Amino acid sequence: QPSRVKRALLFTMEGNADGEAALAYLQARGVAVDVRDVGKDPDASLDLFKRIGRLAVPAVVIDERVFLGYGAHKDEIESLVRD
């Protein structure tokens, strides 16, 4: 069966290794990822701040659930996108 999650939102910054790992994992699972670079996009920074009250990257948003960091929440994120 296809993964339940088809889309994810990733707030990150250029050179953020955990963000790159999250992106690679999600793309490998066929998830469409909207990447927002808070270092280059003021609107992305504002959006992230409104969601979590601070700037912290990477932040992975799946089904309106926000995960701060990929490595720390890898099992939970994978359970949402697992085939």
Instruction: Write the pLDDT tens digit of every residue in 29-79.
Output: 999 999 999 999 999 999 999 999 999 999 999 988 999 999 999 999 999
What's the CA gap between 10 and 37, in Å, rounded? 8
What's the CA gap between 38 and 65, in Å, rounded? 19
CA distances from 67 to 2, 8, 40 (A): 22, 11, 21
Q: Could you count the other beta carbons within 10 Å of the beta carbon of residue 66?
A: 15
Instruction: Write the pLDDT tens digit of every residue in 1-38.
Output: 455 668 999 999 999 999 999 999 999 999 999 999 99
Whether the full predicted model's pTM is greater than 0.85, yes or no, is: yes
DSSP state of 78: H
